[in-house]
Amino acid sequence: MKIIVLILGLFACTLQASQEQTFKEQVQWAKSEASTALNPSSIPLDVNDYCKDATCRQQVANPKEAGLSDTEINAKKGAAYANNDMAQSITHNFNQGRPDVENDPAVQFALIAQDNAFELTHGISNEYVDCDTGEVCLKNGIKKSCKVPTNHPVSCTKAPYFTELTTTQGQTIFNRNPGVNRYGPTITLPEKAKQVRAVLLPDGLTQSTKLGVITRLYINDQVVYETVGTQTNCGYCIGEIASQTVNLKTPIDVDGPLALAHYYSSIGNKVDGWWNLRGAPYGMIFWDTPSYEYEWRASCDALIPQCKPQPEQCIEGEETRIIEGVSVTLPCWKYETLYQCEMDNTCDAIQECEEVSRECSLQQNGVCVEEKVTKECQETSCKITQMECGEQSFCLDGDCYEATPTLNDEFDQSAAALAGLAAAAEGLGNPPKIFTGNAMKCDIKLAGFNDCCKDSGWGQGLGAGCSDGEKALGDAKEKGLTIYVGKYCAKKVLGACTRKKKSYCVFDSKLAKIIQQQGVLGQLGKSLGSAKSPTCNPITPEELSAIDFEHIDFQEFYPDMTEGMELPDFDEIKDRLESANGG
């Protein structure tokens, strides 16, 4: 009898060990299958196995899409994505806002169970959990967070950026009036003359030499020459001004005939024309015809939709400025638009709580528009649950072995943000080079030549006559990897611009471009340099930490992120586990 009992005992132990080993092996298999989901290359696949005939296999070997360009393939891919109801439904749900789980009571009660796990598993009651009644309580001093708008206006300005500056010069002779010792009183210049930059005074113009008396010559009420007399006991005290060229400190704008005037302080008023006693029969006006092209350069990239613009105002009014030696007059040199960002105030719901700290949670163009406020709330709330303390639990279905979470409505947004942080980590070093861009330029061709700066059409052979660098830039534009910096004049001949260029920052991925464009330019208000000298600087770790990824729109990156992803058949995993354990 003892021998039989011993044999049965050994058999039971062997059976139990065998079941345990089988269970662990199947769990390990399930884990490996789940991990393979995001690594399609490790899954053996022969597409020909899915073909029903030789025609299908021939199409697999020589697909008709093989002759399409990258642009045409992307166009077909985009059309299929846009017309697929399931894809659009998934996209719609992915783009819903993130829930505020931080203050969710269900999450807070769940955290109580987590914090008191030892008491629950050992059947011990305390002030937070009552194992006899199943009551769970949230106690005083609970920290909650909320967001509040700062109402700081965001200033966005725009100023002219000159892409071409040239000046044509000329001169016009003016003669003394016949029979009268006077020039003027008006001088008519050619219609193309826009500004007077200098004047040749004719010899013999009159001046007072009497001590302290001021003599002035005017053109259009602007003083072009002034002298003060120094003589005493000089009789009539009339002298002559020697012929000379006077360069004007401030050019005189030409708007019709020029008006000449003579002034003596001893008389006290101006006299029309310039008067002389004798001398040269003529003087000369030197004038310029400035020519320029410009585009308005804004200090802001796109702001979030919650920021509403106020009416635009001119903050630097009309004046004439010298730009690279060219006199330019504009009615306004700088415009400003103030944006008021209407962010939600979630702190109203917990006004009675005491504020602990606050920090900026969102910037726009370098201005903080939203703050995260941490508050401590004095409250106690309890509820009865179906909690059972001290129960012994077993892991029977494998879920407790590093379970793989299912995708939720925010998967794309969350995964894209995590991918951004992972990609940023690759650039950490000394110095850090997070999302560095490459400066690239292209020539704007004259009429009749291929435009090597076009934004599209490179898949149809547009690049004929363009350099390899310009073709590479065109390909990067097609793939959505560029940010436009600006346009400038690259070469001048005799003052005329003969060659213009556009400059771009080109990034290695859409992810890098999106974070640079919406985070660094849009939120932090940084710059990528000038059109002539783009910097395409990397993002510093400090700048990266200041970016609010909840306000980054990653939709452009979603197709690239999900392309090629294959999930395992989890029903198959379940069936194998049940079969292995006698289910």
Q: What is the pLDDT of residues 316-370, one digit of tens each?
A: 999 888 888 788 889 999 999 999 999 999 999 888 888 999 999 999 999 999 9
What are the angstrom distances between the C-alpha of 506 and each of 243, 313, 577? 60, 34, 50
CA-nearest of 156, 552, 522 to 340 is 156
What is the pLDDT at residue 1? 43
Question: Can you tell me the mean pLDDT for 558-582?
Answer: 59
Q: Which residue has the higher pLDDT, 435 or 95?
A: 435
Question: Can you tell me the mean pLDDT for 567-577?
Answer: 56
> How much of the chain exceeds pLDDT 70, in percent?
77
CA-nearest of 218, 220, 198, 219 to 327 is 198
H/E element holding 359?
A: strand 354-364
Q: In 3-state terms, what secondary structure has residue 475?
A: helix
What is the pLDDT at residue 9? 46
Which two structure tokens, joined as six digits, stand for 372? Answer: 């995260």
What is the pLDDT at residue 278? 73
Instruction: Say if residue 568's pLDDT is above 80.
Output: no
The tens digit of pLDDT for each residue in 433-446 reads: 788 889 999 988 76
Mean pLDDT of the chain: 80
Question: Cα dihedral sign for 338, 343, 348, 350?
Answer: negative
What is the pLDDT at residue 337? 94
Q: What angle do CA 527, 530, 531 make, to 5 degrees?
A: 125
Q: Which of 85-99, 308-322, 344-358, 528-542 has the lowest mean pLDDT?
A: 85-99
383 confidence band (pLDDT: 50, 70, 90): confident
What is the pLDDT at residue 33? 61
Q: Which of 20-24, 289-293, 313-317, 528-532 has the lowest mean pLDDT?
A: 20-24
Question: Cα dihedral sign for 132, 136, 140, 142?
Answer: positive
Which two structure tokens, joined as six digits, stand for 472? Answer: 């590479």
Question: Can you tell me the mean pLDDT for 123-150?
Answer: 86
Which two structure tokens, joined as six digits, stand for 452? Answer: 């090597």
**CB of 495 within 8 A of CB of 166?**
yes
Instruction: Say if residue 38's pLDDT is above 70.
Output: no
pTM: 0.46
Q: In 3-state terms, what secondary structure has residue 198?
A: strand
Residue holding tokens 């008396």? 213
Q: What is the spatial distance between Cα 136 and Cα 110, in angstroms, rounded to a whole number? A: 10
Question: Can you tell me the mean pLDDT for 178-183?
Answer: 84
What is the pLDDT at residue 30? 65
- The burial of 553, by beta-carbon neighbours within 10 Å (0-12 exposed, 13-18 middle, 19 or more buried), is given as middle
209: left (phi over 0), alpha (psi -120 to 50) or beta: alpha
Instruction: Say if residue 397's pLDDT is above 50.
Output: no
Instruction: Say if residue 10's pLDDT is above 50.
Output: no
